[in-house]
Amino acid sequence: MEPVDLAVEEALRGGAEQAEALTMEAHSLTLTAERWELKKASASTVKGLAVRVYSRRRLATAYTSSLDPSSVSEAAKRAVKQLKASLEDESLEGFPQPSTYPRVDGLWDEETAQLSLEDAARLVEEALKASRIDDRLASINASLTLHRRKITLANSLGIEASFKDTWARADVEASAKEADNYASGYQPKWTRSIKELSLTEASIQAAQEALEGLKAKKVKTQELPLILTGLALHMVVSSIATALDAELILHGRSFLTGRLGESVASPFITLVDDATAPGEVKSRPFDAEGTPSRRVALIEDGVLKSLLHYHYTSRKMKAEPTGHAARNGGYSYVGRVGIAPTNLILEPRGSGGVEKLASEAGRAL
């Protein structure tokens, strides 16, 4: 019997009206380089199970880092026992019902899952060598992580689902020095496969960014058009997505509280969250409660169209489920279930890249 099925069965036997269990099995390989030298390599395996139980408007959770039958059974019993200490919530209505899940392509890459330590080290060393493009560079620091995992979820209402995925992530930091000037560059890359990652390209880009930073000059205080790219744009879009968390809206903790259906941005702005986008790092067929993933238009032509929901908020606010339940931002077996965005897409208007935008803006920052 699968650990999730055992946990659900044990919880129901103990008196829970409904039960849900999730297992995560993950393996990571991480290599770290400092000042152009490979310094450290480590591998880790994490396994665990979370079980949630529901009875009479109460909810309780328990965890275990072991998937052996005795540990799983004990976790289910602890969850049921904790129900007595849980507070009643009239809006609690149990767990999601079974649904049909979308096909999401590009989640698994066999080469990434099986890449050896030796081959990963070779990729890092090649990237470090390629980044030596100028004598003004003071250092290059880099990390490469290869990750594979399997997620399995079941509940007593009939959900039985699982998926497996891989990803590769590189973070490269560069520093440059010329006379008394110092500058830095940073390039993060996160993809589903090692082939897509191009660690060498990321290293060269970080080095070039640091070198360009040496040309930076102070400017007078003035009003200018602001062009956001890369990490800066990501931070702005992510902060907007955080404000669309339906749980924050319920508690009045978002600046977008009460704005659903209203114009909240320029009519040129359309923001989408798409957990079904093929090959994207946050894509998946279902969320951390088993609700199907789908494409959600959050802001359309400047109008706030939808919030990010998990099962509880969608029922309480009588809204369509969006499939954004997350455990510690993803599928961790520890921590409470909350809400997190997936693949945020700021849909483009017009054509051309940053260069064209800059030329149209004229003098800009």
Does 184 lie in the same domain as 54? yes
* Mean pLDDT, range 306-310, rounded to an integer: 98
Q: Choose the final residue of a domain: 187, 213, 239.
A: 213
Could you tell me which residues come within 8 angstroms of residue 60 by beta carbon, excluding any fewer than 6 positions away?
52, 53, 79, 80, 81, 82, 83, 85, 86
Instruction: Report residue 110 as tokens.
Output: 């066999």
Q: Is the pLDDT of residue 349 over 80?
A: no
Write the pLDDT tens digit of every residue in 238-279. 999 999 999 999 999 999 999 999 999 999 999 999 999 999
Instruction: Please state, as a whole number, how many other Cβ atoms lie within 10 Å of the Cβ of residue 82.
Output: 15
In the structure, what pLDDT confidence band is assigned to residue 358 with cuts at 50, 70 and 90? confident
**pLDDT at residue number 227:** 83
Per-chain mean pLDDT for the chain: 95
Write the pLDDT tens digit of every residue in 321-343. 999 999 999 999 998 999 999 99
Does 242 lie in the same domain as 167? no
Instruction: Report residue 133 as tokens.
Output: 């493009």
**pLDDT at residue number 230:** 80
**266 assigned to some structural domain:** yes
Write the pLDDT tens digit of every residue in 281-292. 999 999 999 999
Does 314 lie in the same domain as 178? no
Please check whether residue 10 is in contact with residue 73, taking contact to mean a CB–CB distance below 8 angstroms: yes
Q: Is the pLDDT of residue 352 over 80?
A: no
Domain count, the chain: 2
Please check whether residue 326 is in contact with residue 338, taking contact to mean a CB–CB distance below 8 angstroms: yes
Closest CA to 168 of 204, 127, 136, 133: 127
- Three-class SS of 170-232: EEEEEEEEECCEEEEEEEEEEECCHHHHCHHHHHHHHHHHHHHHCCCCCCCCCCCCCCCCHHH
Write the pLDDT tens digit of every residue in 30-64. 999 999 999 999 999 999 999 999 999 999 999 99
| Paired strand residues for 22 | 50, 153
Does 236 lie in the same domain as 191? no
Q: Is the pLDDT of residue 23 over 70?
A: yes
**125 assigned to some structural domain:** yes
Write the pLDDT tens digit of every residue in 216-242. 888 889 888 888 888 888 899 999 999
Which range marks the domain in which residue 29 is found? 3-213
Write the pLDDT tens digit of every residue in 57-89. 999 999 999 999 999 999 999 999 999 999 999
Whole-angstrom distance, CA of residue 290 vs CA of residue 155: 9
Does 154 lie in the same domain as 246? no
DSSP E strand boundaries for 255-331: 271-274, 295-300, 303-304, 325-327
Does 324 lie in the same domain as 201? no
Q: Is the pLDDT of residue 350 over 70?
A: no
Q: Is the pLDDT of residue 111 over 80?
A: yes
Does 240 lie in the same domain as 207? no
Write the pLDDT tens digit of every residue in 96-106. 999 999 999 99
CATH of the domain at 56: 3.30.2290.10
Does 110 lie in the same domain as 73? yes
**pLDDT at residue number 44:** 97
In the structure, what pLDDT confidence band is assigned to residue 303 with cuts at 50, 70 and 90? very high
